[in-house]
Chains A and B, each alone.
Chain A
Amino acid sequence: MPLLELRNVRVSYGRVEALSGISLMVEEGEIVALLGANGAGKSTTLRTISGMMAPTSGEVVFAGQRISGLGPEKIVRLGLSHVAEGRRIFPGLTVRDNIMLGASNRRATRRELNADVEEMFALFPDIRPFADTLCWKLSGGQLQMAAVARGLTARPKLLLLDEPSLGLAPLIIQKVFEVIREIQRRGTTVLLVEQNANMALSVADRGYVLETGLLKLSGKASDLAASDEIRAAYLGGRAA
């Protein structure tokens, strides 16, 4: 049984249909990349999985339970954590507090929370010096680290990452993707949305390609990276 399954999911913003029947699955332990151009429906897919949007038809099944329509507060308690587009770090709280609030989906004592935060600073040593800094003072890369750390503090079975490389310097992107591999090694499944298809396919096991609300292609990451169609459309390479 896959950890996550979308069955013919349709989603609309008012009259505009953003997803026109998407079916995909994520197996436990995988990194799956969801690729596509701007406006293809990648973020909408993640928003639908985490309950920020309700599908007009179709269903989302997580760990054997139908979750479409449950709402984000309940879904995150089931172990599905969404690092949203734009990071969405609380600007008026410190890095430590932001990370700590990632555990709002479960009961934890203050001591456990402090241990969780320490664990995150071990995984992201770059933001440890800013533990008690208000987040509006942080750079984009630091915010991204804090956002991923906050998502992981929920101790999710499945982590949804929306454009973790957006707006970051190449060196920082490298670091973020190293962390994504490390997250997988620790046993968390990852569904990754990216415009940086090269980078995404280099860490992913499998990939899906979205185009204007429909799945165009799917397959092993290595096959997708080698396919001419992908290279031409999304990777900036020349078609043969």
Chain B
Amino acid sequence: MDIILQLTFAGIGVGSIYALVALGLVLIYRATNVVNFAQGDFPMMGAFILVVCLLSAGLPYWLSILLSLAGMVVFGAAFNLGVYYPLRNRSYLPVLISTLGASILVQNIILAFYGPQPANLPALLPFRGFQIGSVFLDPQYIVIIGVSALLVVLQYLFFEKTLLGKKLQATSQDKEMAGLLGIPVKRMIMLTFVYSALLGGIAGILVAPIIYFSITMGNAIALKAFAATIIGGFGDIRGAIIGGIGLGLIETFGAAYISVPYKDGFAFVVLFAFLMLLPQGIFGEKIAEKA
């Protein structure tokens, strides 16, 4: 029983990271109809800025996090202007290739100037965690779960309760009509990219102390996030959250009970199963919403 609780705790922690990145993926998809292949570079970038500030420049942890968040706002805006905006009136394919190119470019720029070495970040909280019964709670996982839950609640309130959130929803449902009503569509899409980058950056900041920073750390996260969105139902916000956490749990339990080396494989076995048996995912795509 204790081992199950322990694994559930870890699984939700890892799954929260996938969920945050998947949320960003879904938001960009809904606003632009394009799957962003550079989504994994958002967490990598967030973690990278943290590494540079904290380890290379020796700044305090809180300041490094603030700088990383600020950096992600700039990165998200630059990503929109450089990768999406020039191609916005083309079909999805040129934009998709453009995001793929951006991913390769960003990783190689960091490789050229920083080098390939991975970095080990210290945990956010300095204490060692504590025991409840026989379950050990790692403070970094508590932070991950807490911050992710808070973000999900804030995002829900923002989209459902504020006028700006509703304008963003309207833009993602019918861009042309939104413009016809006077909603500044370009600004809404800019906001979506910035927020999505910020979500990814936060995921990177949270996960880096657990998995080491490396230039390619985002690739695996992005693949899992993508799988999470398909399992949850592509384009669905609840689906991204449920799919992400579900995937984290499957992976953690699979590693514990079946095989550690095949840990990354379980996510994709589940993905295949969903694609074969339930391709619309848990929540399905609400056709009516797209009509």
- Within the assembled complex, what's the spacing in Å between the Cα atoms of A88 and B173? 10
Chain A residues with CB under 8 Å of B288's CB are: 91, 136
- A104 & B289 in contact (Cβ 8 Å cutoff): no
- A90 & B184 in contact (Cβ 8 Å cutoff): no
Stretch at the interface among B94-102, B174-182, B274-282: B174-182
- Within the assembled complex, what's the spacing in Å between the Cα atoms of A90 and B188? 16
Given contacts A92-B286, A136-B289, contact A154 B173 (CB under 8 A): no
Closest to B160 in A: A97
B251 CB to closest chain A CB (Å) equals 32
Taking CB atoms and an 8 Å cut-off, the chain B residues in 164-214 that contact chain A are 166-167, 169-170, 173-174, 176-185
Given contacts A91-B288, A91-B289, A92-B286, contact A102 B166 (CB under 8 A): no
Chain A residues with CB under 8 Å of B179's CB are: 71-73
Judge whether A82 is part of the interface by a CB distance below 8 angstroms: yes
- B163 & A90 in contact (Cβ 8 Å cutoff): no
Q: Name B's interface SS.
A: helix
- B177 & A90 in contact (Cβ 8 Å cutoff): yes
Chain B residues with CB under 8 Å of A97's CB are: 166
A163 CB to closest chain B CB (Å) equals 15
- B180 & A90 in contact (Cβ 8 Å cutoff): no
A200 CB to closest chain B CB (Å) equals 22
Given contacts A104-B182, A150-B181, contact A90 B167 (CB under 8 A): no
Judge whether A100 is part of the interface by a CB distance below 8 angstroms: yes
Q: How many A-B residue pairs have CB under 8 A?
A: 69
- A93 & B170 in contact (Cβ 8 Å cutoff): yes
B272 CB to closest chain A CB (Å) equals 30
- A73 & B184 in contact (Cβ 8 Å cutoff): yes
Given contacts A110-B163, A136-B288, contact A90 B182 (CB under 8 A): no
Closest to B173 in A: A90
- B163 & A88 in contact (Cβ 8 Å cutoff): no
Judge whether A188 is part of the interface by a CB distance below 8 angstroms: no
A191 CB to closest chain B CB (Å) equals 15
A152 CB to closest chain B CB (Å) equals 12
Chain B residues with CB under 8 Å of A92's CB are: 169, 173, 286, 289
- Within the assembled complex, what's the spacing in Å between the Cα atoms of A91 and B177? 12
Judge whether B1 is part of the interface by a CB distance below 8 angstroms: no
Given contacts A93-B170, A136-B289, contact A154 B181 (CB under 8 A): yes
Q: How large is the interface on A (under 10, 10 to 19, 20 to 34, 35 or more residues)?
A: 20 to 34
- A101 & B170 in contact (Cβ 8 Å cutoff): yes
Given contacts A100-B166, A101-B170, A136-B288, contact A88 B177 (CB under 8 A): yes
Closest to A50 in B: B180
- A104 & B169 in contact (Cβ 8 Å cutoff): no
- Within the assembled complex, what's the spacing in Å between the Cα atoms of A188 and B178? 22
- A73 & B174 in contact (Cβ 8 Å cutoff): no
Set A73, A91, A113: member contacting B182, Cβ < 8 A: A73
Given contacts A91-B291, A92-B286, A136-B289, contact A82 B170 (CB under 8 A): no
Chain A residues with CB under 8 Å of B178's CB are: 101, 104
Judge whether A48 is part of the interface by a CB distance below 8 angstroms: no
Chain B residues with CB under 8 Å of A77's CB are: 182
B162 CB to closest chain A CB (Å) equals 10
- Contacts A88-B177, A90-B174, A91-B173 known; list 19 others, CB within 8 Å: A52-B176, A72-B182, A73-B179, A76-B180, A82-B180, A88-B176, A90-B169, A90-B173, A90-B177, A92-B289, A100-B163, A101-B167, A101-B181, A104-B167, A104-B182, A105-B181, A136-B291, A150-B181, A154-B182
**B: which residues have CB within 8 A of A?**
163, 166-167, 169-170, 173-174, 176-185, 286, 288-291
A-B contact pairs, 21 of them (CB 8 A): A52-B176, A72-B176, A72-B180, A73-B185, A76-B180, A88-B177, A90-B170, A91-B173, A91-B288, A91-B289, A91-B290, A91-B291, A92-B173, A93-B166, A93-B169, A100-B163, A101-B178, A101-B183, A104-B167, A105-B182, A154-B181
Give the 3 A-B residue pairs with the shortest CB-CB distance, closest first: A105-B182, A136-B288, A88-B177
**A: which residues have CB within 8 A of B?**
50, 52, 71-73, 76-77, 82, 84, 88, 90-93, 97, 100-102, 104-106, 110, 113, 136, 150, 154
